[in-house]
Structure 1
Amino acid sequence: MLYIGVDLGTSAVKLLLMDETGDIKKIVSREYPLFFPHPGWSEQKPEDWFTQSVEGIQELTAGCDKSQVAGISFGGQMHGLVVLDGADRVIRPAILWNDGRTGEETDYLNQVIGKEKLSEYTANIAFAGFTAPKILWMKKNEPENFAKIVKIMLPKDYLAYRLSGSFCTDVSDASGMLLMDVKNRCWSKEMLDICGITEDMLPKLYESYEVVGTLKEDIAKELGLPATVKIIAGAGDNAAAAVGTGTVGDGMCNISLGTSGTIFISSKDFGVDENNALHSFAHADGNYHLMGCMLSAASCNKWWNEEILKTKDFAAEQAGITKLGENNVFYLPYLMGERSPHNDPKVRAMFMGMSMDTTRADMTQAVLEGVTFGLRDSLEVARGLGINIERTRICGGGAKSPLWKKMVANIMNLKVDVIESEEGPALGGAMLAAVGCGEYPDVETAAAKIVKVIDTVEPEPGLVAKYEERYQKFKRIYPTVKDLYQG
């Protein structure tokens, strides 16, 4: 049988076709626009996601035996606010995960409602990108639109709804809304009251591998697929990427160098760090995970190369970098503010330490190192909880760079396991579809069968020591400059 994984990203939707053994048959990617109507705002049109996904599925399945397609599932950009009216029309463009407009609402939740209460209700505190602050923003700033709301959903769930008619979400993605009681895997009545919404506005909660419906007849006809194709709930992009890298079960770690950057630690047990610097979310395997999320990771490298250096040849820019652990230039990777562990939507990126002999290669190196140092900030929080991580999987566009993987190994002092397929959320989505269709009994079994480690990048003691010294300097920069960005 064949399974489709849909990775609904921020810049494009990536669709992957996989057979029951995990063999990837075809991958298709289709882009759609991103809108910045005001500084710090970030929006997309849900209709664009659906149009490009439908056309992408048609392209993906062209030439294959379509009768063999058994299931479709998703990995999706998290936290986005999608709102529909009573006629199922999109009320306004989706407000995305990297949108920073909700500073006042985030402060209200954290300071007036209080972080302790939020953590009690949801296991997390408010971050500017989360969904609940966006709902409060809409209630205050767009009351006419707010009054029209009948359905509230997340980006990938809009696709599931259009494909199957099922108003659904999964526990991993819903964990990032600040509306769900993560420990008990149910909606938080207290948070719904705070946001002025009712439970019937929210989708039904499923585990990521559960079937939510089948293709609607008109959609099946348009796609040329059987109407029996199952739609499986899917997961937030990071949880789906973790499935795709085999980061399931207890004590596994995955680092994702995508548009955003994450460090993801899977756990059988529910847990929260006392400062809520890491997110405590439900995992797609039926368990839990801790996650640190940077808003700008590979996007920092993309910005530096394409907007500043005016090149798309990222590999050529990295070819001249040889002075690992000895760069005097630092880069703070906060192009859109920062989430973990600082929770500061106002801070911005900066370079420091340049001199007359600083080179183009030094600046490029600083960008890659700055992102990795930022991820280490979250790793240190996990280590402070007594979590002993010795190795990590890696995925995302940045993971294709041998240099960046070497930096991760030595800045983090972790063994970095490279897997055969670095397709992240798309592969994870296809794997969840296979589990939902009964191909595998559970997510851990699917991961053990499908995900293969093909190489390991080992940390080098001498380089680890050099980077330790650099990191100790890096982590002093943000506390020193953060007040410059307030007000």
Structure 2
Amino acid sequence: MYYIGVDLGTSALKLVMMDSKGELVKSVSKEYPLDFPHSGWSEQNPTDWFLAVKEGLREISVGAAEKIAGISFGGQMHGLVILDKDDNVLRPAILWNDGRSTEETDYLNNVIGKEKLSELTANIAFAGFTAPKILWVKKNEPEIFEKISKIMLPKDYISYMLSGSFCTDYSDASGMLLLDVKNKKWSSEMIEICGISKSMLPKLYESYEVVGDIKSEIAKELGLNEDIKIIAGAGDNAAAAIGTGTVGDGACNISLGTSGTIFISSKNFGVDKYNALHSFDHSDGNYHLMGCMLSAASCNKWWMEDILKTKEFAAEQENIDNLGENKVFFLPYLMGERSPHNDPAARGTFVGMSMDTRREDMTLAILEGVTFGLRDSLEVARSLGIEIKKTMICGGGAKSPLWKRLVANIMNVEVEVPVSEEGPGFGAAILAAVGCGEYESVEAATKSIIKIKEKIEPEADLVVKYEERYKRFKKIYPALKGIFKEIL
């Protein structure tokens, strides 16, 4: 049988089809618009996602429709999708990298209080989280707020449109600031704080659980069987972790996607005392800690396409030869920053340029800056006594040999590259297979399916050089923090 994983990304949708042995059969990509109505705002139309999903399912199922058993999802997290009583979308979805809810975030952290939030949800408020967005709509669009009947996350809108099941999973719900992460239930106090009702929130499932069958009318429209199972799925980072085998206790995955994450799985619930890392439920049924940067591979894409006006990413990296000796630094905060600074006002910055600075130096600074930013989160984990000696890696940035080498040496860890680098889509396909009974558990599935094709070891001389450069990098944000709010 075949299992489809839907990766609902920020700029594009990717569907992957996997067979029962975990081999990838086919993949399809579809793009959709991303809108920035104001500086720091980020929105999309949920109907664009569903149109892309239908087109993708129609295309990927050609010649295989009769063998598709299940569909699951890995979706961009935190986005606010709101529907009225007739299931009409009330406004464009406010996305994970949207920074408009600064006042609401400050209210939650400073009036409700970080300690109280951490007690209720295991996390503090970040502008990208869903709860501050709800409060922003309540304050700024009261006529829309009054019409809210359902509150959804992006992938769950797709699931609802395909199955009619109003649902979410624990991993994705963890990023809403509405879930009691430790006890896996909606927080009644957070619901009250946001001025909503529990009926507006979806039913909770484990990521590998079946939430329903595909709607008969959708199956007929797309030429699919009506007994296809729809499986809950996961937030994109939790799904990507499944796709790299980052399950169980103490495993690590770094994702260099539009955003960047360091993801550490655990069988035990835990919270760092500063809440610099997110404490979320994992899609394997356990827990995880996660540091999230809002701009990772998107920094390199911006630099290459918008500034250098080229799509030859690999060619731009070919002549870079000064690893560990670059005088230029880059702060990768193009959309503000989440972990560990929690500063929506932060912005991207080049520091250290001189008359002899080369194009290659600035390109390298982009890659180094993102990796330094991810190391900030790794250092928080290390401060908790978590020892990370190796990590899996995925995402578009992981296609760069240079960037993988930088991760190994800046973080001083062995980097492992899986055979499949399909990220959230592949993890979602594995969740679909587990949900349909192909494997007895997520851990059993990943042990059978995930294979390593490459290992990158740290180089002793570069580790020493990058240790010194990281110490300098850490001083730049504190020195500029006060300026960022003045230049917005």
TM-score by length of 2: 0.99
The unaligned stretches of length 5 or more in structure 2 are: none
CA separation in 1, counterparts of 2:54 and 2:248? 33
Matches of residues 151-166 of structure 1 in structure 2 within 5 Å? 151-166=150-165
Once the two structures are superposed, residues 183-228 of structure 1 have per-residue CA deviations (whole angstroms, 9 ceiling, x without a partner) of: 0000000000000011100000000000000000000101211110
Deviations 1:120-169 (A, max 9, x none): 00000000000000000000000000000000000000000000000000
Structure 1 residue 445 displacement after superposition: 0.5
Q: What are the within-5 Å matches in structure 2 for residues 51-66 of structure 1?
A: 51-64=51-64, 66=65
Which residue identity does 2:159 align to in structure 1? A
Q: Distance in 2 between matches of 1:463 and 1:39?
A: 38
What is the aligned partner in structure 1 of residue 407 from structure 2?
408
SS at match of 2:361: helix
How far did 1:430 drift? 0.2
* Aligned residue number for residue 113 of structure 1: 112
Q: Does 1:7 align with 2:7?
A: yes
SS at match of 2:90: coil
SS at match of 1:174: helix
Which residue in 1 is equivalent to 2:42? 42
Alignment correspondent of 1:25: 25
**In angstroms, what is the RMSD of aligned CA positions?**
0.5
Aligned to 1:283: 282
Moved more, 281-290 or 446-455: 446-455
Partners of 1:223 and 1:279 in 2: CA distance? 39
Matches within 5 A, 1:344-355: 344-355=343-354
Residue in 1 that maps onto 2:248: 249
The 2-side partners of 1:99 and 1:388 are apart by 33
- Alpha-carbon distance between aligned partners in 1 of 2:483 and 2:421, rounded to the nearest angstrom: 39
Deviation at 1:63, TM superposition (A): 2.1
Percent same amino acid among aligned pairs?
A: 73
| Counterparts of residues 92-171 of structure 1 (less than 5 Å) | 92-171=91-170
- Name the count of aligned residue pairs: 486
Q: Is 2:311 the counterpart of 1:333?
A: no
What secondary structure does 1:462 align onto?
Answer: helix
Q: Could you give the per-residue CA deviations for residues 462-482 of structure 1, whole angstroms, max 9, x where no partner exists?
A: 100000000000001101110
What is the rounded CA distance, in whole Å, between the counterparts of 1:445 and 1:402 in structure 2?
30
Q: Tell me the distance in 2 between the aligned counterparts of 1:275 and 1:92.
A: 34
Q: Which amino acid aligns with 2:63?
A: G
Query: Residue in 2 aligned with 1:235?
Result: 234
Aligned counterpart, 1:419: 418
> 2:463 maps to what in 1?
464
SS in 2 for 1:486: helix
Task: Determine helix, strand or coil for the equivalent of 1:392.
Answer: strand
Q: What's the CA shift string for 1:95-138, capped at 9, x where partnerless?
A: 00000000000000000000000000000000000000000000
Give distance in 2, aligned partners of 1:404 and 1:50.
34
- Aligned-partner Cα distance in 1 for 2:68–2:59: 14
Paired AA for residue 217 in structure 1:
S
For 2:484 and 2:360, the matched residues in 1 are separated by 28
Report what 2:90 is aligned to: 91
C-alpha distance in 2 between matches for 1:63 and 1:211: 25
Q: Does 1:445 align with 2:433?
A: no
Query: TM-score of the superposition, structure 1-length normalised?
Result: 0.99
Aligned equivalents of 1:256, 1:485: Cα separation in 2: 27
**What's 1:377 paired with?**
376
Superposed displacement of residue 407, structure 1: 0.1
Q: Indicate the residue corresponding to 1:192 in structure 2.
A: 191
- How far residue 444 of structure 1 moved from its aligned partner, in angstroms, is 0.4
Deviation at 1:455, TM superposition (A): 1.2
1:378-425 deviation digits (Å, cap 9, x = unpaired): 000000000000000000000000000000000000000011011010
- Amino acid across the alignment from 1:53: V
CA displacement 1:261-313 (0-9 Å, x = unmatched): 00000000000000000000000000000000000000000000001000000
Whole-angstrom distance in 2 between the partners of 1:156 and 1:308? 32
- Counterpart CA distance in 2 for 1:449 and 1:324 is 37
SS at match of 1:247: coil
Aligned to 2:387: 388
Q: CA deviation at 1:38?
A: 1.1
Determine the C-alpha separation between the residues in 2 that align with 1:309 and 1:470: 25
| Cα distance in 1 between the residues matched to 2:332 and 2:38 | 21
Query: What is the distance in 2 between the residues matched to 1:36 and 1:338?
Result: 17
Q: Deviations over 1:349-373 (max 9, x none)?
A: 0001011111000000000000000
Deviation at 1:486, TM superposition (A): 2.4
Question: What secondary structure does 1:33 align onto?
Answer: coil
Aligned to 2:175: 176
The correspondence of residues 264-275 of structure 1 with structure 2, limited to 5 A, is 264-275=263-274
Q: Which whole-Å CA distance do the structure 2 matches of 1:441 and 1:217 have between them?
A: 28
Match of 2:67 in 1: 68
Amino acid corresponding to residue 339 of structure 2 in structure 1: S
Partner of 2:212: 213
